[in-house]
């Protein structure tokens, strides 16, 4: 069975500081992908970053980086230099090689304080 767990329902961070959002997963697939999405109050899911299970290096996209620890089955999102516009829900998702649907976690609500 595939499962994504996000244990932080809500997080606060001061503007310009870095923040880490936790994500752990469970899968029996050897090849899988991990994704992070941002969902502002407008509701649209915005793709942020992708990490493949066989990628040797942690993924980075601008201010977003993914701290991938395969042995611990964790894929934490790090946002550097937080901005007020980063306030949103963040979802971790997983897709395996042999299935196309995404499994999502329950999300973390990030609030960036000025």
Partner 1 sequence: GAGVSQTPSNKVTEKGKYVELRCDPISGHTALYWYRQSLGQGPEFLIYFQGTGAADDSGLPNDRFFAVRPEGSVSTLKIQRTERGDSAVYLCASSMGTSGSGDTQYFGPGTRLTVL
Please count the other Cβ atoms lying within 10 Å of the Cβ belonging to residue 79: 23
Interface stretch with partner 1, choices 12-20, 43-51, 68-76, 80-88 (CB under 8 A): 43-51
Integer-rounded Cα Rg, in Å, for the chain is 14
Closer residue to partner 1 (CB): 57 or 100: 100
C-alpha span between 65 and 97 (Å, rounded): 23
Site for partner 1 in 83-102 (CB under 8 A): 91, 93, 95-97, 99-102
Site for partner 1 in 45-84 (CB under 8 A): 45-47, 50, 52-53
Cβ atoms of residues 84 and 33 within 8 Å: no
Instruction: Pick the binder of partner 1 from 23, 25, 103, 110 (CB under 8 A).
Output: 103
């Amino acid at each position: 069975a595939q499962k994504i767990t996000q244990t932080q329902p809500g997080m606060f961070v001061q503007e310009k500081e870095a923040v880490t959002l936790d994500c752990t997963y469970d899968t029996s697939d050897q090849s899988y992908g991990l994704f992070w999405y941002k969902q502002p109050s407008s509701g649209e899911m915005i793709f942020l970053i992708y990490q493949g299970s066989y990628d040797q290096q942690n993924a980075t996209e601008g201010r977003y980086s993914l701290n991938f620890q395969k042995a611990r089955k964790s894929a934490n999102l790090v946002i550097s230099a937080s901005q007020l516009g980063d306030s949103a829900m963040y979802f971790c998702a997983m897709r395996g090689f042999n299935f196309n649907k995404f499994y999502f976690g329950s999300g973390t609500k990030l609030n960036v304080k000025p």
